Structure 1
Amino acid sequence: MNDLEEIATLLAEPEPSAGAVARGRDRLQRRARAGRARRRAGWFVPGVALVAAGAAAAVVLATGAPTNDGVPVTGKEVLLMAAVSAERTPQGSGTYWHVTRQWSTSDSPSMESWTRRDGKRWSKGEPGDPADAVVPVPAWKTLSLKGAKVSFEDLERLPTDPEALKAWIAERKGNENDMSASEIQGDPTFTLLALITELPAPAEVRSAAFRALAAMPGVENAGAVEGGQRLRFPDPEGGKDIELVVDPEQARVTRANLIVVDNGDVAWSDKFISVTTEWTDRLPSVQQS
């Protein structure tokens, strides 16, 4: 067994030891540093639209060689490392769940949302919002998962075992107008991505989602880039690959070529969009509608 196979084996265990986690993390960090790529300019073509989940546009991205220090670090290993990190990352607290989606060009405004634990939401920069204003979001545009409303309490009750989580996703019923074709057929890919990108899922649920994605066929690592490791997933609907930049140390998706939006839509881009999430107690001044 080589050292990278050992990482995968150790991380696949339900409770790897602290020493095993440290050794695996050190190996991945050394390879990531050795293959650090220069920052790519111009992630995003301004004007990307939010589209119905079943009508995603094609994406084409150029990537580098999937090796670091001459030795592949597989996509599975990156996701398993992120799963271990997620388990040990405090969930955080605050009044609002704040999500920011940022384009690469300075003249392209970011899109932001703030969601309170009772489900009430505000947004800024989203399609239809007044310029530079934080506005209340209509009650029907609430957090969604696989085409159905989901509350903070629902997320906290999700299974923390990868197979149980996938079974829950397969059985979940939602509005087919807000679901992709693959979701309607029971494929968990987009739902799992939503749990690790923008939704306020608990640490254990995020870990289970990372592990479930690691077990899926076809995930590849395209190499180290700014913000983490660049991973490719096959599109379950047969389109161009899904691409994510995953920081396994922080268990975060830092950039992606699509956004699984919290109201059930999907936004695709021909380049990357950065995504940040946080708990906050501050809501900017709100413009009353």
Structure 2
Amino acid sequence: MNDLEEIATLLAEPEPSAGAVARGRDRLQRRARTSRARRRAGWFVPSVALVAAGAAAAVVFATGAPANDVVPATGKEVLLMAAVSAERTPRDSGTYWHVTRQWLKSGGPTMESWTRRDGKRWTKGVPGDPPDAVVPAPAWKTLSLKGAKVSFEDLERLPTDPEALKAWIAERRGNESDMSASELRGDPTFTLLALITDLPTPAEVRSAAFRALATTPGVENAGAVEGGQHLRLPDPDGGKGVELVVDPEKARVSRANLVIVDDGDTAWSDGFISVTTEWTDQLPSVKKG
């Protein structure tokens, strides 16, 4: 376990001990002294700090291009820090889970959905929808995970341990026509991506999904970009590879080159797809096409 992983484990504890806090403070001070020395030498290293509530422990990691001996955070470290942030994100709520997707390269229409806890859904901009209209979605267009319908309650019952979550994914059975070859083999990659990207996943489960994804062989950090860190993962189906922009402080995936669509299939893009999610109590006026 390296230094950042050890601190990530420390921050994941609900109430760190006095000794743990002291060790975390010492690491932070040593990192801060090193960072100041590099800035005095003419180098600026942007960083992200995550501080445990009520504790003087924090993690600081370098991002962007290397400067002299400054090594950027690895892809694994970025995902671990996102897991820490997810675990400490206050639980939010609302009447509708609102997801907005925008294909950035093609400039196509923005696609939105609003899903109520009973599974009823409304969409706008989805292929087949009337222009500029919010319309009720067909019953089959609801939340999906690994080729099968999933409810808000199902998501809340998912394991919060990374290994247990991967085991659950391996055992889950959905509609085979809506699953990729890797999902049929039990590979967790696409399912984990769905849990951290656009599903209303509880904070503890999101944290477990980030930690599980951090164990993926070959995950790399391509560096700092607008909105976070540009991560690359091998495509478990042997394609061109998965690309994500992860904000580790907010535990959000702001952009990706794929999305898991309503029927459980995977939609790819040559560029990035912007994904934003939120809880809301407002449903736009439903229009007739």
What's the TM-score once normalised by structure 2's chain length?
0.82
Q: Corresponding residue for 1:227? A: 227
Q: Corresponding residue for 1:61? A: none
State the alpha-carbon separation in 2 of the partners of residues 24 and 285 from structure 1: 47
Q: Corresponding residue for 2:163? A: 163
Instruction: Give a deviation string over 1:45-71, Cα, whole Å, max 9, x none.
Output: xxxxxxxxxxxxxxxxxxxx6x47731
Percent identity of the aligned residues? 75
Q: Corresponding residue for 1:131? A: 131
Q: Corresponding residue for 2:60? A: 27
Q: What SS class does the counterpart of residue 60 from structure 2 fall into?
A: helix
Gap regions ≥5 residues in structure 2: 25-49
Q: Corresponding residue for 1:9? A: 6
Q: Corresponding residue for 1:214? A: 214
How far off its partner does 1:157 sit?
A: 0.3
Contact (CA 8 Å) 2:74, 2:220: kept in 1 or not?
A: yes
Q: What SS class does the counterpart of residue 206 from structure 2 fall into?
A: helix
Q: Corresponding residue for 1:251? A: 251
- The structure whose RCO (Cα within 8 Å, separation 6+) is larger is 1
How far off its partner does 1:142 sit?
A: 1.3
Contact (CA 8 Å) 1:198, 1:262: kept in 2 or not?
A: no
1:69-80 mapped onto 2 (5 Å cutoff):
70-80=70-80
State the alpha-carbon separation in 2 of the partners of residues 126 and 201 from structure 1: 23
* Distance of aligned partners of 1:12 and 1:68 in 2 relative to their CA distance in 1, 3 Å threshold: farther
State the alpha-carbon separation in 1 of the partners of residues 164 and 222 from structure 2: 29
Contact (CA 8 Å) 2:7, 2:59: kept in 1 or not?
A: no
State the alpha-carbon separation in 2 of the partners of residues 181 and 287 from structure 1: 39
Contact (CA 8 Å) 1:7, 1:24: kept in 2 or not?
A: no
Q: Partner amino acid for 1:78?
A: V
Q: Corresponding residue for 2:40? A: none
Matched, 1:242 2:275: no
How far off its partner does 1:10 sit?
A: 2.2
The structure that has the greater radius of gyration is 2
Contact (CA 8 Å) 2:257, 2:272: kept in 1 or not?
A: yes
Q: Corresponding residue for 2:34? A: none
Gap regions ≥5 residues in structure 1: 36-64
Count of aligned residue pairs for this structure pair: 252
Instruction: Give a deviation string over 1:137-193, Cα, whole Å, max 9, x none.
Output: 001111110111100000000000000000000001110011111001100000000
Q: Partner amino acid for 1:11?
A: A
1:1-289 mapped onto 2 (5 Å cutoff):
5-12=2-9, 15=13, 17=16, 20=24, 21-22=50-51, 26-28=59-61, 31-32=62-63, 35=64, 67=66, 70-104=70-104, 108-288=108-288
State the alpha-carbon separation in 2 of the partners of residues 212 and 193 from structure 1: 10
Instruction: Give a deviation string over 1:55-108, Cα, whole Å, max 9, x none.
Output: xxxxxxxxxx6x477313100100000000000001211000000012336953
Q: What SS class does the counterpart of residue 27 from structure 1 fall into?
A: strand
* Distance of aligned partners of 1:24 and 1:277 in 2 relative to their CA distance in 1, 3 Å threshold: farther
State the alpha-carbon separation in 1 of the partners of residues 245 and 274 from structure 2: 9
How far off its partner does 1:8 sit?
A: 1.6
Contact (CA 8 Å) 1:147, 1:176: kept in 2 or not?
A: yes
State the alpha-carbon separation in 2 of the partners of residues 154 and 250 from structure 1: 24
Q: What SS class does the counterpart of residue 230 from structure 1 fall into?
A: strand
* Distance of aligned partners of 1:68 and 1:99 in 2 relative to their CA distance in 1, 3 Å threshold: farther
Q: Partner amino acid for 1:10?
A: I
Contact (CA 8 Å) 2:230, 2:244: kept in 1 or not?
A: yes
State the alpha-carbon separation in 2 of the partners of residues 187 and 265 from structure 1: 15
Contact (CA 8 Å) 1:123, 1:136: kept in 2 or not?
A: yes
State the alpha-carbon separation in 1 of the partners of residues 237 and 104 from structure 2: 27
Instruction: Give a deviation string over 1:189-227, Cα, whole Å, max 9, x none.
Output: 000000000000100000000000001111000000000
What's the TM-score once normalised by structure 1's chain length?
0.82
Q: Partner amino acid for 2:6?
A: T
C-alpha RMSD of the superposition: 2.1
